[in-house]
Amino acid sequence: MFKTLDRYIIRQFLGTFFFILVVIMLIAVVFDISEKTEDFAKMSATTREIVVEFYLNFVIYYSNLFSGLLIFIAVLLFTSRLAHRTEVIAILSSGVSFPRIMWPYFLAATGLTILSLVVNHKVLPAANKIRLAFEERHIRVTYHVDQKNIHREIAPGRIAYFETYNAEHRTGMRFSLERWQGDSLVEKLSADKATYDSTNGSWHVQDYLIRSLAGADEHIRQGSAMDTVIPLKPSDMGQRWETSMAMTDSELDAYIAEKNAQGDDSSAPYLIEKHQRTSYPFATYVFTLIGVSIASRKVRGGTGLHLAAGVGLVLVYIFMMKLTTVAATNAGMDPFLAVWLPNILFAIVGIFIYRRAPK
């Protein structure tokens, strides 16, 4: 049964959080509209499409993205006010222990964590799919991807290679297609240039050479141009990394498995997205622990000092999150560890600060 203290803290915690969330989202929408006014004037989208397809999903995405930071700020503001009015001291003097004060905070944090998990796994992929589709139609007319040294196993024993690939023109340079039987190379197609033809789904290769190997015998054919149909599409080369945010959990797992089967080592951002959908909501507990532990102590400077210390810690957390994700993407760090490591380290910091909080 909730007591008066529990209801008071939960109401103030959630009320402060949702008030800050609404204010920040209103500001974000106003700034985004001012930035895209010229784009909106040029595009063919209706007002309903802009509001429903773009800004409604825009708010869902950024509300979830900034929820951890806003929860932290809400805890700092509310608890700092309690400490400044000496209410924390009064509660402790009445015989209520500090862990007991933390109880309603963590009840509210649990509700927000569950809400964030549901949004991350169920609501956000569909919202991002609509938002990104709107951007592709009206804001990003063409997406540019330039990649080098692309290897794809398009079928068992069939390996395609591009030295460079330009997504805008759907063209790859220094193209080769190898067919293997066991450990033996039986055929290799080499071409200076390969362009995807969307009308029939084939690749048009230029200045090609085909080597066919049968034991010690070798047969060579060459020509200026030909079409070849292979199970390889431009979308298999590269796409906006944001597309991972528009995938459901099952689609994300299938895409990662497909990339691994093709020998594609670019699946790290998708693994990061997969693990972040669970790890980021659980950061709510870490932010709540640190926020209450910092703001419950009455100090000179009051709320301003608490906010400064809290925002500094959040910036360090964000920097560490970016550092570990870059390490996972470019340096081979395990994506699961990269995503959870900041939570683990800051949980340790939170426990240390908690132990020094007024009891």
Closest listed residue to residue 248, CA positions, set 94, 128, 152: 128
φ/ψ (deg, to 5) at 68: -60, -45
358 pLDDT above the threshold of 80: no
Q: Return phi, psi of residue 327, to 5°.
A: -65, -35
* Structure-model confidence comparison of residues 241 and 316, the more confident one: 316
- Report DSSP state, residue 184: E
What are residue 197's phi and psi, to 5 degrees? -105, 105
Q: What is the mean pLDDT of the chain?
A: 82
* Residue 82 pLDDT: 80
Q: pLDDT (tens digit, 9 = 90+) per residue, 123-158?
A: 999 999 898 888 877 776 444 455 677 777 777 778
Reply yes or no on whether the pLDDT at 210 is more than 90.
Answer: no
- Residues with Cβ < 8 Å from 147, sequence gap 6 or more? 162, 164, 165, 167, 237, 238
Q: How far apart are CA 91 and CA 129, in angstroms?
A: 48
Q: Return the amino acid letter for 60.
A: I
Q: Give φ, ψ of 225 to 5 degrees.
A: -160, 150
| Cβ-proximal residues to 195 (8 Å cutoff; 6+ apart), any chain | 169, 170, 171, 172, 203, 204, 206
Per-residue DSSP letter, 248: -
Contact of 91 with 104, CB cutoff 8 Å: no
- Interatomic CA distance for residues 356 and 351, integer angstroms: 9
Q: Of 347, 288, 304, whose CA–CA distance to 102 is shortest?
A: 288
Sheet holding 217-228, edge to edge: 146-155, 158-166, 171-181, 184-197, 202-214, 217-228
Residue 116 has pLDDT above 90, yes or no: yes
Q: What is the DSSP letter of 211?
A: E
Spatial CB neighbours of 107, under 8 Å, sequence gap ≥ 6: 6, 10
Q: Which residues make beta-bridge pairs with 204? A: 195, 227
Q: How far is CA 261 from CA 88, 158, 165, 301, in A?
A: 57, 12, 21, 58
Containing H/E element for 44? none
Cβ pair 20, 63 in contact under 8 A = no
Query: Model pTM?
Result: 0.71
Nearest CA to 271 out of 243, 251, 252 is that of 252
Reported as a single tens digit per residue, the pLDDT across 14-61 is 999 999 999 999 999 999 888 888 777 777 778 888 888 899 999 999
